[in-house]
A and B are shown apart, each in its own frame.
Chain A
């Protein structure tokens, strides 16, 4: 009863525009007072604020965001896109495929879905439209897949948060996203090429000189990726510490190439700080809300109901997948994950599913939610930067959402897509 009231209140506050983190903190606190009493409220509120940020592992979030900011401000992503265009832009589907490759490439440096989507919306959609792609199709592609590639391919803010919350190995989780990311890029490529065969959506063929010349602009990108990879794979630093190298590397490279001036650097820091404050407000609110939910006993009775339902493990998994797709309609990725994992993760473990595999699956499922109305941040961002109305962006995203669902199916049927690398590294 109390739980129903609290959840309805949460939805109301979210829909009248209360920032998600604030709404979770307020509603969670109120819920704790109702179901746990004043003592519980005071005890939880006075410890959660410190405990939810106090972790070395979490330093990787602001630092990877900082790295992405330096890269965005150095125009490195734009160079990468232009270079790929020169090589394959003249082949049927080439411009669209360039968008996929550039997104995947940028994904190796950005761990944030929102960051990747906003940058690629600005860079890629105008080019695709210029090459006669429908605005709907172009915007749908970027809205649905750029962010997904960014969070599957390491680094990945959501996978790091998942690791911290479930005490799963960060190294393994990050590596687990690689193959699904590549498979997604291939699926997108195949789909774009097939749907472009009879259309005039190519750009002028670049000369070989132009092509090779364009390569010289992407070496900063390659150097940065190499730095991070070498540091992680040669055991110089952990994946947490690698974020500091990535950020510093991006700063130094941007500075040496004169792509970053003082004000751009300052801006990058400030934007990173705002992003961090935003993410952690949701993290804190998510914890408080989750404590309420635990105290209310609803979670426990749900788990009991599920484990005593006699349903097969696959039916339960199907219900969980459905649950995350529905949740994704209304909630943002990080908030949903933090909110639900304390409940769902024990079920997954008790059913004998692999925690690393499930991490990849959850992130993918919630990423779909970022392009579905009514709450879909990537939808709004793509619309804002491409000036294409939200409903058209969504309309254009529908075929790609089916591709993402197909990827979900592949990962469920062939868990090794996610698990081969982490189990054999």
Chain B
């Protein structure tokens, strides 16, 4: 289990780092698009479509799991903070379980959508006309990784008898 956890966290971090790189790419891409449009009257074809159809998907879904690990998902803690350690564990376990179910559904359903998009060869509305199916696969993957993260958090509660997330307002909220 420890080995699996370490391996998973390696993958989780890499996926998160890819998301960060995509954010940088998006910043420079939009900048260049405006630059080319202003100077050469020739925007980069497909910028508007590609940023929404792919870059945003990568940025949001590749960041999901690591954000949870850093306790970056906003929650209401005024009551939770007054819980005893035991009740914190219980409520963490329950909420993680419910979230795991939700994200497994999202993962499976979007994988199914991926297959449908492949079957119908659904393409971007823009001029480049690239296929959209991989975007659905990315959503499926991001949600799956998050589900595994939630599952690991649950096993930590059971095996190590402690809540996996300690701080109530994480540093990540400082943006």
Contact = CB atoms under 8 A, between A and B. Distances in A.
Contact of A22 (B26, B31, B78, B102): B102
B75 A273 contact: no
A277 B78 contact: no
A7 interface: no
Interface string B15-46: 01001110110111111011000100000000
B175 interface: yes
Given A16-B95, A118-B174, A281 B26 contact: no
Contacts of A280: 60
Contacts of A114: 173, 175
Contacts of B91: 16-18
A244 B34 contact: yes
Interface in A109-128: 112, 114-115, 118-119
B34 A15 contact: no
B74 A278 contact: yes
B76 interface: yes
Q: Interface size bucket, A side? A: 35 or more
Interface residues of B, number: 70
A56 B20 contact: no
Contacts of A297: none
A207 interface: no
Interface string B49-66: 101110111011111101
Interface stretch (A188-196, A358-366, A372-380): A372-380
A381 B173 contact: yes
A59 B47 CA distance: 11
A155 interface: no
A241 interface: yes
B77 A20 contact: no
A58 B56 contact: yes
A380 B169 CA distance: 8
B43 to A, nearest CB: 10
Interface in B54-92: 55-57, 59-64, 66-68, 70, 72-80, 83, 88, 91-92
The secondary structure that dominates the A interface is: helix
B175 A54 contact: no
Contact of A45 (B20, B72, B75, B109): B109
B172 interface: yes
Top 3 closest A-B pairs, CB basis?
A17-B80, A277-B63, A19-B73
Interface of B: 16, 19-21, 23-24, 26-31, 33-34, 38, 47-49, 51-53, 55-57, 59-64, 66-68, 70, 72-80, 83, 88, 91-92, 94-95, 98-99, 101-103, 105-106, 109-110, 112-113, 135-136, 139, 143, 168-169, 172-175
Given A271-B174, A274-B70, 18 more contacts: A17-B79, A18-B98, A26-B99, A26-B102, A46-B112, A49-B61, A49-B143, A53-B52, A236-B38, A271-B175, A272-B175, A273-B67, A277-B72, A278-B73, A281-B73, A374-B79, A375-B76, A377-B74
Interface of A: 13-23, 25-26, 29, 42, 45-47, 49-50, 53-59, 62-63, 65-66, 68-69, 72, 112, 114-115, 118-119, 231, 236-237, 241, 243-245, 247-248, 266, 269-278, 280-282, 330, 332, 373-375, 377, 380-381, 384, 390
